[in-house]
Structure 1
């Protein structure tokens, strides 16, 4: 009989799959190392086992202990598998930008999940780095994994992932391309491959809001580069010890939008359902295409499963809200189609200014058309109301007709975006769209900006 003694024995030996349509413009053989075939559905299973086994061996992790780690979700899943098999408790500290699916999955496998804010400094006591360390200090018989600086992370990939790729390509690999987060995968694989063949190029995929690319190129840790970003699993606002910059030949940065769009493209064009960092890797690969020759063998690593992003990159509403959905917006009707049924908020000429202010607050809007029995006769916006208030503190009790400006221009549904855009001026911040049957909808500058791809 052929069977494994437990689920941990199924980790590794993931397939290498040729990519076709999505890399058609790359003149080389491109192979994907698909790590979703690991039981925890990510590359992180490998280092989770290694870090725990090494901690057991030197006494840092004792029987019945509690494992504590800050994670974007995938490492937590790998640790959870090992904790279940070996009898440990697990606390995962996760940032609030991670998908709900990741949090739910961690809870489903017995982990306690602590959620921290994303947009804070690493040294902030609320950051998931700081909270992880504090919990480890406060929890008896606990061990803080610290995957960023735990060198068992990169060692796992030096011992396992690198040799697998070398064997699967029969030593013909010329380039390795991978997203960089903790740095364990790129450093461990890169070290092994360069020992086998120093000419192999190692490329890291970074994201905007992360420090890796500039630090690699200049040696400068530029805090001005650090800002919140959407892409999950890659990029950092710190320099983990596992990132060995001497092994990396270069970085390319990929935008949040491109990462999300290409995550979906991989599923639709290659039938491989993988996560957000895989989309970033493919877009980064295309950005690097001039580095590849016809005889090259390029291996790109896909970190995790698309199932962890069904509420984000694979959700049309989520993509549309961020302007990531590749839709052809050419007419006024394209801009308003997703909220065309919303009632137009108006204010009447004889209503008080306080009524308009109350409506702006309630509906979180900045411009309101003014109507009387004959139709649209004027408009008010928050800037005009503010100026009026500065000039006269009693303006709230005055009728709208005394402070209103000119009525907003009205266009038809088929009016082009170019024509609509020309109607926005310093004096005019909105345009009304005639829907027919006496109904209208409003387009603001914000709507036009949101339609820009």
Structure 2
């Protein structure tokens, strides 16, 4: 039987779970850590799932019309997915990125033919950044407020509030975890960017097994822009959600579906990513490193001995070779 795919959209999902045997052994952990390797998606990140889901939902409800332009603000990976799928579907796309986006992600978006600009080029966004110590959580809020009243031929994705974001994780990511572990998953660790992964995965798994614990990773205090430290080295794609103004928390993040907020500093994320590259031969991104660090600490808790922890790794380290991650 031939196995030929007609579109890269058919290659999304069903990403593998990998037991991190080398990491577990080196760290002398008594719990199992399984990495869900989302860089097996066609554009090498978990954001392929939501990019296609949000485009298809907009096509269905008429928000995205033939000849329309897809517009979004992103730390990188969602923009890559949107640019790729806009290209194959015949839409234009315009992606606004954080000033600190890695050059690799910037170049990949350009390769797909999208128009790329810095979020800070928009005066309202620049003002919000200046008033909030360069915190892009505030920048995103200003971006969506500015763009909300625009051209009818523009589809503003707004991944932070778009219901197609958590929905695709509920329909695909979570069932994959459930099926691949045969329901033996005890703990899931994921980072909060838009809140979609936590909400979608948590909602599904808790409906199947209420005792499943969901750990939501956010940056540590030293990795968040502040008055004392306005330009810290941030963890790309990971945003704070506790201890910040409510209006800056992504509306897709539902607190009913996570059990604990776990802060991770950039240096800790980098150390974990570098370690697993050497123990298990996988090159993961900065947010994945943060998730792995959190999973390691959760695994060390005595009550978690013998439990199965799934760490959702959003993307590949190949997108960060120009940064300090693998220096």
Bin for the TM-score computed over the shorter chain: 0.7 to 0.9
1:96 aligns with 2:108: no
* TM-score, normalization by structure 2: 0.86
Distance in 2, matches of 1:285 and 1:141, equals: 43
Distance in 2, matches of 1:78 and 1:253, equals: 27
Question: Relative to 1, partners in 2 of residues 1:268 and 1:211: Cα closer, same or farther, differing over 3 Å?
Answer: closer
Query: How much does 1:293 deviate?
Result: 3.0
Q: Which residue matches 1:309? A: 320
Question: Relative to 1, partners in 2 of residues 1:291 and 1:137: Cα closer, same or farther, differing over 3 Å?
Answer: farther
More helix by share: 2
* TM-score, normalization by structure 1: 0.63
1:10 aligns with 2:14: no
Query: How much does 1:156 deviate?
Result: 0.6
Q: Which residue matches 1:66? A: 69
Q: Which residue matches 1:231? A: 235
Query: How much does 1:133 deviate?
Result: 5.1
- Contact 2:286–2:325 (Cα < 8 Å) also in 1: no
- Contact 1:190–1:247 (Cα < 8 Å) also in 2: yes
- Contact 1:93–1:131 (Cα < 8 Å) also in 2: no
Q: After superposition, where does 1:196-215 map in structure 2 within 5 Å?
A: 196-209=208-221
Which of 172, 179, 189 lines up with 1:160 in the alignment?
Answer: 172
Question: Partner of 1:158: helix, strand, or coil?
Answer: helix
Q: Which residue matches 1:441? A: none
Q: Which residue matches 1:298? A: 309
- Contact 2:69–2:154 (Cα < 8 Å) also in 1: yes
Aligned length: 305
After TM superposition, the structure 1 stretch with the greater mean CA deviation from structure 2, 107-116 or 127-136, is 127-136
Question: Relative to 1, partners in 2 of residues 1:201 and 1:27: Cα closer, same or farther, differing over 3 Å?
Answer: same
Q: After superposition, where does 1:342-357 map in structure 2 within 5 Å?
A: none
- Contact 2:223–2:265 (Cα < 8 Å) also in 1: no
Distance in 2, matches of 1:315 and 1:30, equals: 22
Gaps in structure 1 of 5+ consecutive residues:
213-222, 317-453
Q: After superposition, where does 1:76-95 map in structure 2 within 5 Å?
A: 76-95=79-98
Which of 46, 51, 55 lines up with 1:48 in the alignment?
Answer: 51
Distance in 1, matches of 2:221 and 2:117, equals: 24
1:246 aligns with 2:250: no
Question: Relative to 1, partners in 2 of residues 1:3 and 1:301: Cα closer, same or farther, differing over 3 Å?
Answer: same
- Contact 1:21–1:269 (Cα < 8 Å) also in 2: yes
- Contact 1:26–1:292 (Cα < 8 Å) also in 2: no
Q: Which residue matches 1:369? A: none
- Contact 1:209–1:227 (Cα < 8 Å) also in 2: no
Offset from partner CA, 1:380-404 (integer Å, 9 cap, x none): xxxxxxxxxxxxxxxxxxxxxxxxx
Query: How much does 1:295 deviate?
Result: 3.0
After TM superposition, the structure 1 stretch with the greater mean CA deviation from structure 2, 106-115 or 279-288, is 279-288
Which of 190, 200, 205 lines up with 2:202 in the alignment?
Answer: 190
Distance in 2, matches of 1:235 and 1:210, equals: 13
- Contact 2:174–2:205 (Cα < 8 Å) also in 1: yes
Bigger Rg over Cα? 1
Question: Partner of 1:274: helix, strand, or coil?
Answer: coil
- Contact 1:262–1:280 (Cα < 8 Å) also in 2: yes
Q: Which residue matches 1:105? A: 108
Gaps in structure 2 of 5+ consecutive residues:
121-125
Q: Which residue matches 2:123? A: none
1:145 aligns with 2:163: no
Offset from partner CA, 1:344-402 (integer Å, 9 cap, x none): xxxxxxxxxxxxxxxxxxxxxxxxxxxxxxxxxxxxxxxxxxxxxxxxxxxxxxxxxxx
